[in-house]
A and B are shown apart, each in its own frame.
Chain A
Amino acid sequence: MPEYYPKNTATNPSDWLERHGDAMYRFALMRIRDSEAAEELVQEALLAACKNQATFSGQSSERTWLIAILKNKIMDEMRRRAKVAARHEEMDLEHLAPDPTFNRRGLWAVAVERWPESEAGTSGGAESGEFWAAFQGCLSGLPQTWADAFVLRELDGASTEEICKLLGVTSTNLWTMLHRGRTQLRACLEQNWFLK
């Protein structure tokens, strides 16, 4: 590379916000579910990126690099709020009210319906925005830590080991959170989407 040619020409901080700001915001919002917190995280990530420009190798795209930084910020935020939640009831699964989905003998107390084969409305396109809104509505009914665990697992494909470490829970607790979360989401989406 000739000397007069500046290093890292691919990346210029003043363009980042314009080129990647919205994508970064969507990425954060989908995971953190709060627009103010998502904006805050985008800003933190961009500032961190400015400081650490040297770590951009040019091997990945600028977008990929920025999203990786943002992802770390999101995980920090989830770790922080799991710690706050740990002081409250929701992580204390032993003292949690029993799952109302099942009766005292552990048998189904609610109906589990057969959903249409077509998986209608989930094929992408305009309807996926509507599905996402229904999903977010259902997700907001879950304790935050359960919702975070579900998001990490389903959106980011994180392993249970990684999620346990991040949220500070045992694997048995995580399996229980994911089970109760899925059971509640399944019932909610059945009503609000799949059999609507």
Chain B
Amino acid sequence: MMIRRIATIWKILNAPCREMTLLLSREQDDPLPALEVFALRLHLLYCSACRRYKRNIGVMRRAVRRAADALDASSTPALSPESRRRIKQAMDDSSDLQG
């Protein structure tokens, strides 16, 4: 039991970049367990590629949200005249049915 626990801890602490970036991604969505947080801190101390990954996915998240907000506030793209006519027709038909 004890040995298995130690083996698990050892594995998490020594996980390679693939696993560490999984934690960095997961951290953007859910809180991490304490051991994972510790392992990640330690890894980031000496891994500059993972440090850049962490920063980049943060920049990416903010950029996507800002662009989405800007698009929400803009006036394009818009419904084509043709699809607008089709939707209007469908709405008129359904209100006729409802009387």
Q: Does the CB pair A43–B30 fall under 8 Å? A: no
Q: Contacts of B57 on A, CB cut-off 8 Å?
A: 182, 186
Q: Does the CB pair B53–A47 fall under 8 Å? A: no
Q: Contacts of A123 on B, CB cut-off 8 Å?
A: 66
Chain A, residues 116-142, CB within 8 Å of chain B (1/0): the string is 000100111100110110010000000
Q: Does the CB pair A128–B67 fall under 8 Å? A: yes
Q: Does the CB pair B22–A155 fall under 8 Å? A: no
Q: Does the CB pair A13–B91 fall under 8 Å? A: yes
Q: Contacts of A112 on B, CB cut-off 8 Å?
A: 49-50, 52-53, 56
CB A27 to nearest CB in B, in angstroms, measures: 7
By the criterion of a CB under 8 Å from any partner CB, how many residues of chain B are at the interface?
50
B51 nearest CB neighbor, chain A only: A112
A-B contact count (CB 8 A): 153
CB B56 to nearest CB in A, in angstroms, measures: 5
> A176 in the interface, Cβ–Cβ < 8 Å?
yes
CA distance A176 to B77 in the complex (A): 33
Chain B, residues 14-26, CB within 8 Å of chain A (1/0): the string is 0111110110011
B87 nearest CB neighbor, chain A only: A43
> A114 in the interface, Cβ–Cβ < 8 Å?
yes
Chain A interface size, as a band, is 35 or more
Contacting A131 at CB < 8 Å: which of B25, B63, B95?
Answer: B63
- Besides A106-B15, A155-B64, A171-B30, 10 new A-B residue pairs in contact (Cβ under 8 A), listed by A number: A14-B91, A17-B84, A17-B87, A22-B79, A25-B79, A46-B91, A115-B52, A119-B63, A124-B70, A175-B26
Chain B residues with a Cβ under 8 A of chain A:
15-19, 21-22, 25-26, 28-30, 49-50, 52-53, 55-57, 59-72, 74-80, 83-84, 86-88, 90-91, 94-95, 98
Chain A residues with a Cβ under 8 A of chain B:
13-14, 16-17, 21-23, 25-27, 29-30, 35, 39, 42-43, 46-47, 50-51, 99, 101-102, 105-108, 111-115, 119, 122-125, 128-129, 131-132, 135, 153-155, 160, 171, 175-176, 178-179, 182-183, 185-186, 189-190, 194
